[in-house]
Structures are given as structure tokens and as C-alpha cells.
Amino acid sequence: MKKMLAMLLAALLLLACASAASAEDAARLTIAYQYGLAYAPLVVAQTEKFIEQAYDGALEIEWVQMSSGADINTGVMSGSVDVGFMGVGPAITGISKNVSYKIFTNLSGQEHGLMTNDESLRTYDDIIDSYSQIALVNIGSIQHIILAKSLADNGFDPHALDASLVAMKHPDGMSALLAGSVPLHLTTSPYIYRERETEGLHEIEALREAWPKENSFIVGVAAIALYDENRPLYDALCAGIADAIDYVNGHVEATAALTSQYDGNSVEDEAAWLRLGNYDTATGGVEAMARFMYENAFIEADPGSYADLVFDNVRGD
């Protein structure tokens, strides 16, 4: 009996050592992302473990939710974040400031809208003349840049409304609009769909065409060190995100069942809103966005060409 117990203990010790060695040998990846339906493929990738399946070896992924692209930039610079997903504008800003990453994939394009609870506000002239506040997610966000581009497209100074901007997270901005605390809210899915259905609100139509959903909204950035030093892991990342996007496009209801658990929408509403988005790995308008940002003082350094912004596997534009 003692001999059997000793053999069993030895086997358990070997198993524990093997497990510890396996954990030590596992590749590690920290992925930072944000909130909303634009990030739906990431919920799928995390749940279905598409990146892990694409990697030839043990892989441990830490998924971290952050509130802004600026936080992700800080994480990449500190080395605590390997991969981040953010608006294309903040991503371009990060590259222009020599944050050591490039765009490795597009994730989604989404509709944007500028909604108001004030019947007297119909045009940009009305908003400028009234000094009305506009809630959006952050100063320098992609929403801020889309607003600036829309102003420029309609013959206004792209910075004419900068002093009117109030930074609020998307759900907080919607709540403030509905409560009457702010007269205007610039937002994206799913909040724009809810607001368009709300009685007493109407849309400033001039903004809708500034950045159509066929263009990049959310992109993925990867640390240059990951690309240079661990190409198998980088390739698995690209393949896993591509598989997740394919899943969203091919399994809308199943995706909605996953994402609705996080945002409180019904599965039916979530599925309808997912169909209104554009989920694709190919970028759209990235170089044009970078050029606009440089020419209108959103970034100080010339962003260069498309090849300076993306890794060589990225298609689009």
C-alpha cells in the first residue's frame, strides 16, 4: 500500500510539474478593447477562442476593457498591452506620436449620427450661433474628427464647434440627451439607433454622410515588437480576428445572443443592429482620414502613406 501511495504521489508530482512547465511555456497576449456593437467580433473571438485555435501551441489571452484609445496607447507604450482596438482617428494619432504599433486589421464600420432634443437646432449655423453643447465620447475621438470633417465638407471651419464639445461615454451621453442635460449627442451604434427611435429627438442630417459605414471606424493595432519578434503569434491574431468577423457576418443571431448579454438589448434588436454594421478586415478611408487630420491640426506629424500606417498584410483603402 505504501509503495502504491508513493507511486501515486510521484505521478501527481510529475503531472503538476508538467502543468507548471506548460503554463510557463504558453505564449501570452494582452488585448485591450472598448464598448459597443462595433466591437462585436471581439466578443465572438473571446468566447469561441478563435485566436487560440489559430495558434500552434499553448496561448493565454488576457482581454482588458478600456474606456479610450488614449488608455490603450499608454498600455502599448508601457508594454502591458500587445494589441488594441480603437477608433481609426485615435489609432492614426498614436502612430503619428510614435506609439510603437501599426494597424493590423479593420474591425468594423458603423453609422454615426448627431441627435438633438432642441427643435430650434436644424443646421450647423443654428448650433454655432446658439453655442449649444455637444456630447461625444472624447475630445480627439473619431467622433470629434467625423464632426470636424462634416463641418469642413459643408463649408465651415472644421474646428468651429470644438469649444462646444463635452466628453461623455456613449451611454452617458444618451442619458444626458434624453434627460435634457445636453442638447446634442454625437454617437454610433447601438445608441444612435435607440435615439433615432425616440420621440422628441431629431437628427442633424448634415453629419450622416461625413464618414459612411463602408469606411473604417474601429481598427486593430498591434505592437511592432509582436510583428517583428513573434510572427506565428501575430499571424494567429490576424487569422483569429478574421474568423470572428466571418462568424459575425454568417451567424448574426448567434452573435446577437452573445453580445446582448453585455449591453442589455434584446436579441432581436441586437441582431437588427448588427446587420446595419459593416464588419470586414479590409480598411476604408484610412489614408484620407490621416491626411485630413494632418491638414487640420489634429496631428502634428505628417502621417506619410498608407504603408506607413498599416502592416503589410492589411488590405483595403
Q: Is the pLDDT of residue 10 over 80?
A: no
Q: Average of pLDDT values for 173-199?
A: 96
Domain ranges across the chain: 28-110+215-309, 112-207
Residue whose C-alpha cell reads 457576418 in the numeric block: 249
Report the mean per-residue pLDDT for the chain: 92
When mean pLDDT is compared across 15-19, 78-82, 204-208, 221-225, the lowest value belongs to: 15-19
For residue 283, the model assigns a pLDDT of 98
Question: Is the model more confident about 262 or about 136?
Answer: 136
In tens, the pLDDT along 236-265 reads 999 999 999 999 999 999 999 999 988 788
CA dist., res. 92 & res. 89, Å (int): 5
Q: Do domains 28-110+215-309 and 112-207 have the same CATH topology?
A: yes
Q: How confident is the model at residue 3 (pLDDT cuts 50, 70, 90)?
A: low
Contact partners, residue 7, CB within 8 Å, separation at least 6: none
Q: Is the pLDDT of residue 15 over 70?
A: no
Nearest 5°: the CA angle 256, 260, 264 is 155
Q: Is the pLDDT of residue 13 over 90?
A: no
**Assigned architecture for domain 112-207:** 3-Layer(aba) Sandwich (3.40)
For residue 36, the model assigns a pLDDT of 83
Angle between helices 252-263 and 267-276 (to 10 degrees): 110
- Residues above pLDDT 70, as percent of the chain: 92
In tens, the pLDDT along 264-293 reads 889 999 999 999 999 999 999 999 999 999
For residue 17, the model assigns a pLDDT of 43
In tens, the pLDDT along 148-172 reads 999 999 999 999 999 999 999 999 9
Entry pTM: 0.88
Q: Average of pLDDT values for 126-141?
A: 95
Contact partners, residue 312, CB within 8 Å, separation at least 6: none
For residue 70, the model assigns a pLDDT of 81
For residue 34, the model assigns a pLDDT of 87
Is residue 36 within 8 A of residue 170, CB to CB? The reply is yes
Residue whose C-alpha cell reads 436644424 in the numeric block: 122
CATH 3.60.20.40 fits 28-110+215-309, yes or no: no
Is residue 188 within 8 A of residue 213, CB to CB? The reply is no
Cα distance between the two ends of the chain = 72
